[in-house]
Amino acid sequence: MGGLFITLEGGDGAGKSTQIEYIEKFFKEKNCVVVCTREPGGTRISEMLRNILLDKGNAEMEAVTEMMIYAAARAQSVREFIKPALARGEIIICDRFVDSSIAYQGYGRKLGEMVSEVNSIATGGLRPDITFWLDIDPKIGGVRAAKTGEPDRLERENLGFHYRVYEGYKKIAEKEPDRVKRIDATGSIDDIRKEIRSYLEELGTR
């Protein structure tokens, strides 16, 4: 199997980390070279930008500023880390990618189409081979997330914001059903894994 770019998306408390571990194990059992990364992050510069974005002390950050910093972190990660790994035939599993910006800044912050335009430049047009959207109602996800520790700057946003983000993910999934696979994140961990596995096995037959 050649290089693959797999992303996981979803709101707070969706359980992305658990499923990333499973996907990594799935491919390693097939003797593939697998690397996991996250957004924003994955490189030294991108991680520095992550700290700025999620710092709850930066409450005055403007929406456009937020969008541009996310895109800058992504541009660095794509060029320094993701594209070179894909060129080597490795499998990249990324916790969030452009869909997050479209959902959080495009819909959540109401910035609209400019988010897609800016991120097209940031990524050089790179798109995931498959995206798993772990679909969970923001109220349920918020309760789960509250149990994992202190909320960051975006997690502190009101429920209205998180429902706009949720609507953004729904629109993305409706627009790109071939790439974005909706997974019911309220199911059991095993049920979610089985559904993800079925899609992963399809990838191997393409």
**CB count in 10 Å sphere of residue 119:** 24
Mean of the per-residue pLDDT values of the chain:
94
pLDDT tens for 39-96 read: 999 999 999 999 999 999 999 999 999 999 999 999 999 999 999 999 999 999 999 9
204 pLDDT higher than 80: no
Region 141-162: what's the mean pLDDT?
A: 87
Per CATH, is 4-203 categorized as 3.40.50.300? yes
Cβ atoms of 19 and 9 within 8 Å: the answer is no
Torsion, Cα 20 26 29 33, to 10 degrees, reads -50
The secondary element (H helix, E strand) that includes residue 134 is: strand 130-135
The model's pLDDT over 19-34, given as tens digits with 9 standing for 90+, comes to 999 999 999 999 999 9
**Distant-in-sequence, close-in-space partners of 87: CB < 8 Å, separation ≥ 6:** 3
**4-9 sheet: strands from edge to edge:** 34-38, 91-95, 4-9, 130-135, 180-184
Average the pLDDT over each of 65-69, 164-168, 200-204 and give the range with the smallest value: 200-204
**Domain ranges in the chain?**
4-203
Residue 39 per-residue DSSP state: S
Higher pLDDT, 151 or 108: 108
Task: Report pLDDT for 121.
Answer: 98
Q: Which two tokens stand for residue 114?
A: 């400019």
- CB contact at 8 A, 128 and 7: yes
- Rounded CA gap, 204 and 206, in Å? 6
